[in-house]
Amino acid sequence: MATTAAPDKQHGGRYHVDNGAPRLSTPDALPPLERLSINRLLALYPRERLLVHPLRWTGRQLDLLACRIHSRRADAPSDDHSADHDEARSVSCSSGPGPGSLPRRLARLLATRLEGGMSMDAAEFADTVALLLAPISPRPIWIHSKSLGLHLEQRSVASIPVLYASVSMRPPASGSITLAYLDSIDICRARSDHLTPPLNGDRTNWAGFHRAIALGKMYKPVDPEQDPFLVALVIALAQRDRRRAAQPLPPDSSFAVRILCTGEGHPKPINIYVAHVRSSFLNKLDFPDLEPAAGSGLDITHWRVPTEPFQTLPHRVCRALGLLDRSHGEILAQYVGRPMAGSKRKRDHSDGCMPNPSSTCQPRKGAASPAVPPAAGDALAGADR
């Protein structure tokens, strides 16, 4: 995949995509790419444009930073689930409310949420996360909508808008997790806005407009599920977590990052990205002069979670996120009918507001928005209204 917008003389001077570009490699006398400092990489590969905005990243930037995405398929439905599949689809398409069982109403709500042609807003995302994480009974979920900074040499070099949830875990798990969300539509729109030149008063910049179209084709990934922009988001989230962590940190510390990305289709496919970002990798970006330690690459596991049958989707999503184990149970029916969160809430002023299941909280400017997941039955009852 090409990384520059140089005209191609063999194609009439027009921009084109070189998807057959060879992968980067280092001479035998040099160590692997992941052992080279950022500044040394810039000196060895000056034309690779490592320091471009993440929306312009291609496979070359991932090679230079030793980042890899490993794709897997999570629990594809078997033939044994065909009846559940048919029932979930028929329920999701039904116009009448009907009483239905809790799993069927869960299927209907998720089907409605994932059939839309647009990405979810903060309220829809909070509700959907509460339903998808029902097998682990999450505590109150806090929704953040902000721009994350991608840092180099401890300075922000790019801003990445993202919606993410902070979820406190219930026993036997502990601590909290961060789950970022974006839709493939969001990435396409952000890339188009980034490449399109600003208006020149009332006059249309036709030259810039046509160049933006060419660049859009150039930076559009062949496989949207392997979009390099997602790698940049993983890095930005890990950098944020490290800045917020208690100091000092052990040298071998790592930061778990989880991303839920909905793709194109009806229903929308769900892609889960999970990474444990080592401090040695983050140090490579914070200190570009220093030679990184061994194992300073970044490996991201990508799970393509089949959306249907909707009744078992929460269980498969939790497994892909690495949140289910034997202590949580292996059968979806174990969580059906159980409250998704306790009714008691403690006052928490850390983010500027207090979770309240009976009212809408209005946080202070810049604070996160809380989303308190109701009991499973209450949440699903809304689908029948």
ω into 228 cis (within 30 of 0): no
Residue 180: predicted pLDDT: 93
Alpha helices in the chain, H assignment, sequence order:
38-44, 59-64, 82-93, 102-115, 122-132, 184-195, 206-219, 228-244, 279-286, 313-320, 376-381
| Alpha carbons 376 and 229: distance in angstroms, whole number | 35
Task: Supply the mean pLDDT for the chain.
Answer: 73
Provide the total of helices (H) and of strands (E) in the chain, helices listed first: 11, 8
Confidence of residue 38 (pLDDT cuts 50, 70, 90): very high
Is residue 134 within 8 A of residue 340, CB to CB? The reply is: yes
Residue 271 CB neighbours (<10 A): 23
Q: Pick from 155-159, 172-176, 275-279, 292-296 the range whose average pLDDT is largest.
A: 275-279
Beginning with the edge strand found earlier in the chain, give each strand of the sheet holding 254-262 in spatial order.
Answer: 67-73, 298-305, 270-278, 254-262, 176-183, 155-168, 141-152, 369-371
Write down the pLDDT at residue 136.
82
Q: pTM (2 decimals)?
A: 0.72
Shortest CA distance to 374 belongs to which of 348, 347, 350, 339?
339
What is the percent of the chain with per-residue pLDDT over 70, rounded to a whole number? 66
Q: Which range, of 53-67, 70-84, 141-155, averages the lowest pLDDT?
A: 70-84
Residue type, 365: K
pLDDT value of residue 171: 67
Looking at residue 335, its pLDDT comes to 37
Tell me: pLDDT of 65 over 50. yes
Q: Contact at 8 Å (CB) between 157 and 151?
A: yes
**Lowest mean pLDDT: which of 3-12, 25-34, 138-147, 340-349?**
340-349
Decide: residue 110, CB within 10 A, 0-12 exposed, 13-18 middle, 19+ buried.
buried
Give the pLDDT of residue 140.
76
For residue 380, count other CB atoms closer than 10 A to its CB. 23
